[in-house]
A and B are shown apart, each in its own frame.
Chain A
Amino acid sequence: MTSPGVLIIGAGQAGAVAARALRELGFRGGITMVGRERHKPYERPPLSKAVLVAAQEPCLDVLAQEVWALGDIDLLRGSDVVGLDVSKRQVRLAAGQMLAYDTCLLATGGEANTLISAPAGHPHVHYVRTLDDARRLRAALHGKPRVAILGGGFLGLEIAHAAMSIGAAVTVLERATSLLDRFLPPEASTWLESGLREAGARLLLGTFLGGIHSMPGGRMRLVTDAGDLEVDEVVVAIGLSPNDSLARDAGLAIAAGGGVLVDAQCRTSDERVFACGDCTSQQRPGQTAPARLESWQNANDQARTAAAAMLGVPVPARAVPWFWTDQGKHNIQMLGLPAPGLDYLRRGDPASGKALWIGHRGGVPLHGVALNAGADLRAIRPLFEKGLPVPLDDFPLNATNLRAWARQMQAGAAATV
């Protein structure tokens, strides 16, 4: 009798990378991946950018054709897992079939948060989480409609830029009075805001939505505390909720803020069940409580960690959180995590289109923000990895060669330990 092997629930970035990592680490048993969508695992970052606007849809495959050609990863597409029984080590599919496992990996991702007044099935309402969602929005945007984007987060603003680039008239509604103020220093937030306005966006900040009314001819009227607004399409981008109900129903530990609670090895409260990616919540160094981290990097890194832990081999070193967003022509990257009360030092000038900030506490770099300066942020990454206080006086000076400075600081920090 052959053992059932590894069952991966979810066929997104995290699930696919875990499958490949298991093979790369020499695992020879069976790998079955169950995905709700009809697509092979695909990259999600382009869904709010190139998929909406590029003349030709880019290749989105997470795994190269050669990986599938090996035939050692079974992918069940269009299948939903509806039950997980950790004592019997089996799952139940929506179609009724039972699948057994030796080890299970939850890579179930998340769902877009919804607004009751903007139901997902409405012909002019869009949520952008899946490839099918993005293709549908793409089709709508090419009629150059008037679009309201509800939510001025990273996703909403990427979509705003994409929509404007192909001629749509865009209004962004955001409850907060400044954009992404939890993630960016005020200067960067202001820069982002003026860039959107210059590109033609109407920004309604500090604005609350009262309701949405369908009008004759498919138009929609938005009632807000800043007045009414008539549009052709509504895009809702108000965050993500982790798909943790399968784990919850199975009795696995769930974090206080939602998400399947995993340890540093990505193991859940059941020793045979691991979890990775957007569905998880994990305690990170320097953080007071387990937290979710919705990023491409986290999906990849946790997938590799879970694969290694399943096989009992050393897990990769934990990477400093890293995130990027492409806002129109501009690329913003963040390293580390924002925290209340950080002091920010800036190098360069956002007005010139290139700037880099270090947010620090007592000289310990905790949060880096790069505006069109990804390589510079990369050069100073070792300082974030070390997590030690460094003298930052020379960082803002144009005359400072950043790379040489980072090396010098690194050596200095190491010497004082």
Chain B
Amino acid sequence: MEWIKVASAQELSNDEAKTVNVAGQGVALFRIDGEFFATDSMCTHATALLSEGYVEDGCVECPLHQGRFDIRTGKAMCTPVTVDLRTHPVKREGDDIYVLSPEAK
């Protein structure tokens, strides 16, 4: 496991997200209240990129079926999602955002 630089801070405004590549795996990077968080990029329910979802109140809603996850904890909050999302550690050094490369699934 290692820290991978994935973005610079100004690439995302609050309540925005993007998919970044972390050692070959897609990770969704979110910005909430100025802080950055990372989760698996794919919804645990269907084939959907959560970075294209709707972010509000610290949760992301899947763009396909409105399943909702807590971005900080990955917890599945409402149907149809039942399986929690993996989260990944994030650190910020100056304007650079790093994500700890996830274990292969």
Which of A's residues lie within 8 Å of B, judged by CB? 17, 43, 45, 50, 61, 64, 296, 300, 322, 324, 326, 331, 374-375, 378-379, 403
Contact = CB atoms under 8 A, between A and B. Distances in A.
Contacts of A300: 79
Nearest to A54: B47
Contacts of A64: 82
Nearest to A46: B46
Contact of A375 (B46, B52, B82): B52
B37 to A, nearest CB: 17
B89 interface: no
Contacts of A379: 54
Contacts of B65: 45, 324
B54 A43 contact: no
A378 B57 CA distance: 14
Contacts of B102: none
Contacts of A43: 80
B63 interface: yes
A400 B96 CA distance: 29
B40 interface: no
B80 A375 contact: no
A322 B61 CA distance: 14
Interface string B51-79: 01110000001111110000000000001
A378 B79 contact: no
A326 B66 contact: no
B94 to A, nearest CB: 27
A17 B79 contact: yes
Nearest to A300: B79
Interface string B9-35: 000000100000000000000000000
A323 B66 CA distance: 10
Nearest to A370: B63
Nearest to A65: B82
Contacts of A375: 52-54, 61, 63
A297 B66 CA distance: 10
A45 B67 CA distance: 14
Contacts of A324: 64-65
